[in-house]
A and B are shown apart, each in its own frame.
Chain A
Amino acid sequence: KAGVTQTPRYLIKTRGQQVTLSCSPISGHRSVSWYQQTPGQGLQFLFEYFSETQRNKGNFPGRFSGRQFSNSRSEMNVSTLELGDSALYLCASSAQTGHGYTFGSGTRLTVV
């Protein structure tokens, strides 16, 4: 059974650019959540999608957005990148709330 797949694994972007990260959940999982991990703030919740609808959003600026497709794959987009956006971005999927979450290996974003 394939796990949660995130692409790309590594990205280097310049300040002001935008970036799109992709997440393919475990087959049959309809909930996809995104997290940002930094050494100073730890793991922080970005947003969660279930059946193409955003159900919950963390405390991040509007430059961070996401979407989910009908096959449950999800993308997150960060516009007008800032140096502080450098982080490991993790995606997690679950069959439904309360069933536990499986995480991908993450995308390491470096903004220069």
Chain B
Amino acid sequence: KQEVTQIPAALSVPEGENLVLNCSFTDSAIYNLQWFRQDPGKGLTSLLLIQSSQREQTSGRLNASLDKSSGRSTLYIAASQPGDSATYLCAYNAGGTSYGKLTFGQGTILTVHP
């Protein structure tokens, strides 16, 4: 069974800190990997999409890296703010016959306090 593990499960930090969220996966044949955030009771908001041929993607204060060979992705959040508080989920698409299927981790619950 292909799995995704996110570490840590929860993180509480003061405002201004730089953060690293980790995502590891067992399927080395991924097609791409996507990071999302989810606010309580809401849907998912896409943050970054990394294709298997890419090493990293950046958007504002967010940077995501991908290392297929080691089965790891990291999401780096610079200068965290209280508005960053949410659950962060990583998910990969294996492509091929896994059309439209994303395999998700359990998420990292992030709390940034003022």
Q: Is the CB of A90 within 8 A of B99?
A: no
- The CB with the most chain B CB atoms within 10 A, among A48, A55, A101, A104, is that of A101
| Set of chain A residues within 8 Å of B97, measured between Cβ atoms | 56
Q: Which of B44-59 contact A (CB under 8 A)?
A: 44-46, 49, 51
Q: Which of A67-108 contact B (CB under 8 A)?
A: 88, 90, 92, 94, 97-98, 100-106, 108
CA distance A4 to B100 in the complex (A): 15
How many B residues touch A, CB cutoff 8 Å?
27
Looking at chain A, what size class is its interface with the partner chain?
A: 20 to 34
Chain A interface main SS type: strand
**In the complex, B88 has a CB within 8 A of chain A:** no
**In the complex, B73 has a CB within 8 A of chain A:** no
B91 to chain A, nearest CB (A): 8
CA distance A4 to B45 in the complex (A): 11
User: What 1/0 mask marks residues of chain A from 37 to 55 whose CB sits below 8 Å from any chain B CB?
Assistant: 0000011010011100001
**In the complex, A22 has a CB within 8 A of chain B:** no
**In the complex, A31 has a CB within 8 A of chain B:** yes
User: What 1/0 mask marks residues of chain B from 75 to 114 whose CB sits below 8 Å from any chain A CB?
Assistant: 0000000000000010101010111111111110000000
- The CB with the most chain B CB atoms within 10 A, among A50, A92, A104, is that of A92
Q: Is the CB of A42 within 8 A of B99?
A: no
CA distance A35 to B104 in the complex (A): 10
Query: Could you say which of B32, B36, B46, B107 contacts A42, with CB atoms under 8 Å apart?
Result: B107
Q: Is the CB of B93 within 8 A of A45?
A: no
Q: Which of B25-71 contact A (CB under 8 A)?
A: 31-32, 34, 36, 41-46, 49, 51
Residues of B at the A interface (CB closer than 8 Å) are 31-32, 34, 36, 41-46, 49, 51, 89, 91, 93, 95, 97-107
